[in-house]
Structure 1
Amino acid sequence: MLFPLFKYLESIDFPGAGMFQYISFRSGMAVIFALLIGTIFGKFIIRLLQRQQIGEIVRDLGLEGQYQKKGTPTMGGLIIIISILIPVLLFGKLDNVYVLLMITTTIWLGLIGFIDDYIKVFKKNKKGLAGGFKIIGQVGLGLIVGLTLYFSDDVVVRMEPVTKAETHQVETDKLSQTKNAIFVKAPVTNVPFFKNNRFNYKSLLWFGGEKADHWGWIIFVIAVIFITTAVSNGANITDGLDGLATGTSAIIGATLGILAYVSSNTIYADYLNIMYVPHSEELVVYMSAFIGATVGFLWYNSFPAQIFMGDTGSLTIGGIIAVFAILIRMELLIPILCGIFLVENVSVLLQVGYFKYTRKKYGEGRRIFKMAPLHHHYQLKGYPESKIVTRFWIVGIILAVLTIVTLKIR
C-alpha cells in the first residue's frame, strides 16, 4: 500500500524514499509493526474478549492446572491475523502473486477457524465446526493455491544456474524468453539430500506415457491440498499448551524466511543448488510480519497464558506455513522443519489406531501413550507445562537448524 507512494517520492528525489526499495528495510519494518500491533493492541483485544465473556471451554481430561485455564479468552488468533495483514498491506507489493496467495491463505483459514471458535464459544457446542466442513475449506484453499501456481503466468522457476553472460538478462527478467529456456513453468520442487534435486510431480504418472505431460498438474494440486490440510491440522493439534504452537511456529517461520531469501536470490540459489524463484523476495516481507505476529502474541500466550489463539489462530498458522513452503518449492522439507507438528499428528493417529485394533482383538482398547497428542502424555507423566513447552521449542530449533543444513548436504 505504501510501496507506490514511496516509489513516487523516490522519482522526485525525496530524501530517504529509496530505502523502501530494499527488502531488508521493508522486512524489518514489517517485524517491528507486527510486534507493536501484537503487544500494544493485543491487550485491548484481550479486554474486549473478556468483556464479551469469550472464554475457553475446558473438558475434564485429568490434567494438572487444567481448570485454571477455564474462562481464559480464546479466539486470540485474531491478534495474529491482524498483526500479519496490516504490515503486509503497508510494506508488501500487493501486485505480487505470492503475496496475494499468502493474504488469501491468511484470511481463508482465519475465517474457517473463526467460525469453528464461534460455534464453540457462542453456541456452546464443544465439537465446533464439523470436521467435514473444515476439510472442505482446506481442500478449497489447496485448489486455489495449486491451480494458481500451475496456471498463472507470473509463476516460473529457474531449473539450472545461469552463466555470467546471462546475468544481465536475469536482472531484467528477460531470461525466460531466451533460447536457453532456463525459466520453466512446471510442477517441480527441490528434493533434499540429493545432488540431482529436481522432482517433477508428473513423474508420478510415469505409466501414463505422453499423457503425463498433460495431467501432471493434477498430481501437483492433490499434493498441495494434502500438504496444506496436514500441516494446518498438525498446528491445530499442537496447540494444547501455553505457547507451544506459537513458539514452534515462530521458529519455523524464521527458517522459512531464510529459505525464501536464498530462493529469491539468484546468487545464493546457484550456490546452494536450489531453484531460483523470481519475485519470491516479497515473501520475506510477509514472513517477517508472521514472525513478529507470533512473537508478539507469545507475549500474552506464554505460560500462564492470558489468551489462547483458538482454531482461529492454529488453523491459520499451520496453513500459512504449508502454503509458504510450497510457494518457495521447499515443501519436501516440511517433515523435518515441522517435525513437532508431524509427531503430534502421528501420536494421535497411532493412539486411535492402536486403541481400535486392540479393542477389536482383545475386547478392550489399549493405549500406546498415556494421552494423545504427545504433549499431554508428558503432562500425565508429571512434567511441568512450562518445561514441556521449552523442551519442544529446543527440539524445534534443532529441527530448524537441520533444515538449513540440508541445503549443503547433497
Structure 2
Amino acid sequence: MIYNLLYPLSSEIGVFNVFRYITFRSVWALLTALIVTIIFGPAMIRWLKRIKCGQEIQSEVSAHKCKQGTPTMGGVMIILSVLFSTLLWSDLTNHYIWLCLLVFTGFGAVGFVDDYTKVVKKRNLGISATAKLLGQLLVAGIAIAFLIHEPTYSTQLSVPFFKNINPDLGWFYLPFAVLVMIGASNAVNLTDGLDGLAIGPMVVAMACFAFFVYISGHAAIAEYLAVPSLPGIGEVTIFCGAMVGAGLGFLWFNAYPAQVFMGDVGSLALGGALGFVAVLAKQELLLVIVGGVFVFETLSVILQVGYFKMTGGKRIFRMAPLHHHFELKGIPESKIIIRFWIFSILMALTALSTLKLR
C-alpha cells in the first residue's frame, strides 16, 4: 500500500525512490509484523482467555499437565500481523502476493474451524480428518491452478545439487504441488507439540526461502546461480519478511513456558504458506532439506504407526512425534526445543549451500 501510494511520487520527491527496493520493504515488513505482534499480543491472549480457548492436554507426558488451560488459537495474531504488514509494504498489483495471502488465510481458516470446534464448541476431535483434508485440497488446488496458468511459470522441477536435471511433470505438477503444500501444512501441525518448537524452525525456513524467492525474482542473480527465474516473484520476499517478523513476535509469547499456543489455525496456515513459497521459488524438493525438522517429525509418526500395525503392537519410538520420544527419555523440554532449533539452522545452511554445490 505504501509502495503504491508513495513510489509514484519518487520522480518529484527523490526520497520516495527507496520504496522501489524489495530489500528495504522486506526489512520493514519484518519489523512491522514483529512490533504489531508484540504490542497487540497481550490483548489477544486476554481475549482468548475470555472466550475460554484453553488447550485440553491429553498426553502421556506428565510434565505437560501444567499446560492445561493455556490459551490456544494464538495463530490468529500471526495471521493478522502478517496480513497487515504484507498489505502495508508490498506492491498490491503483484498477483503473487495475493496468491500467498489466499493460501495463508485459506489454510488458516481450515485450522480456525477445527480449533473453534474443539475448544469453543467442546468437541474434542474437532472437524473430521476428511473435512480438514478437503478444505486444504480446495485452497491448494485453487492456488496452484492459477499458478500453472502463468505463461512464465514452469512445471519443471529443480533438483538440489544437480543444475542440469529438470524433469517436467506437465499436468502432473498440479497434484504434486498440492501434495507439497498439504504435506508441509500437516508436518508443521505435527511438530507443534512443545513450546516454541514449531515456530522456531518455521522462522528459519521462511527466512531461507525469502532468499530463494528474492534471487528467483532477480534475473541477473538467478542466471548467475543457475536457479529458475520468475519475473515478479521477488515481491514475495516481503510476504516472507512479514512471516519471519510475525513468527518472532509470536515466539515472544510462545517461548517456554508458553503463554499461548498457535493451534491449528497457526500451524496449518504457516505450513501451507511455507509449502506454497517453496512451489513459487521452484524449490519444492529443497523443502525437504530446509524443513528437515518437520520432515523427521512426520516420518517418526509414519514409521511408528506403520511398525505398530505390522508387528501387532510394537513401537520404534517411545512416543511419536519424535519430540515426545526425547521427552520420555528424560530430556528437558527446553533442551529439546533448542536442539531442534539448532538442527533447523544447520539444515537451512545446507540448503543454501546447494546453490554452489552443483
TM range (shorter): over 0.9
SS at structure 1 position matched to 2:286: helix
Correspondent of 2:79 among 66, 78, 81 = 81
1:377 aligns with 2:325: yes
After superposition, the C-alpha distances for 1:284-317 in whole angstroms (9 at most, x for unaligned) are 1110000000000000000000000000000010
Match of 2:129 in 1: 131
Within 5 Å, which residues of 2 pair with 1:364-403?
Answer: 365-403=313-351
After superposition, the C-alpha distances for 1:315-345 in whole angstroms (9 at most, x for unaligned) are 0100010000000101110111111111111
Query: How far apart, in 2, do the equivalents of 1:366 and 1:380 lie?
Result: 17
The normalised TM-score by structure 1 is 0.85
Within 5 Å, which residues of 2 pair with 1:316-327?
Answer: 316-327=269-280
Question: How far off its partner does 1:280 sit?
Answer: 0.8
Query: How far apart, in 2, do the equivalents of 1:73 and 1:255 lie?
Result: 30
After superposition, the C-alpha distances for 1:341-378 in whole angstroms (9 at most, x for unaligned) are 1111111111111111111xxxxx11110000000000
Match of 1:191 in 2: 159
Query: How far apart, in 2, do the equivalents of 1:122 and 1:50 lie?
Result: 11
1:145 touches 1:224 (CA, 8 Å); kept in 2?
no
Question: How far off its partner does 1:7 sit?
Answer: 2.6
Letter of the 2:146 counterpart: T
Within 5 Å, which residues of 2 pair with 1:176-187?
Answer: 185-187=153-155
1:120 aligns with 2:96: no
After superposition, the C-alpha distances for 1:1-55 in whole angstroms (9 at most, x for unaligned) are 22221033324x1352211111122111101100011111111100111122211
Correspondent of 2:102 among 97, 101, 104 = 104
Within 5 Å, which residues of 2 pair with 1:306-345?
Answer: 306-345=259-298
SS at structure 2 position matched to 1:312: helix
Query: How far apart, in 2, do the equivalents of 1:147 and 1:107 lie?
Result: 17
Match of 2:189 in 1: 236
* Greater Rg by CA: 1
Query: How far apart, in 1, do the equivalents of 2:179 and 2:199 lie?
Result: 23
CA RMSD of aligned residues (A): 1.2
Identity of aligned residues (%): 42
Query: How far apart, in 2, do the equivalents of 1:256 and 1:241 lie?
Result: 24
Query: How far apart, in 2, do the equivalents of 1:305 and 1:197 lie?
Result: 45
The normalised TM-score by structure 2 is 0.97
1:142 touches 1:221 (CA, 8 Å); kept in 2?
no
1:280 aligns with 2:233: yes
Q: How many residues are aligned here?
A: 358
After superposition, the C-alpha distances for 1:97-146 in whole angstroms (9 at most, x for unaligned) are 21111010111011100000001111211211111011111111221122
Match of 1:25 in 2: 24
Match of 1:173 in 2: none
Question: How far off its partner does 1:267 sit?
Answer: 2.0
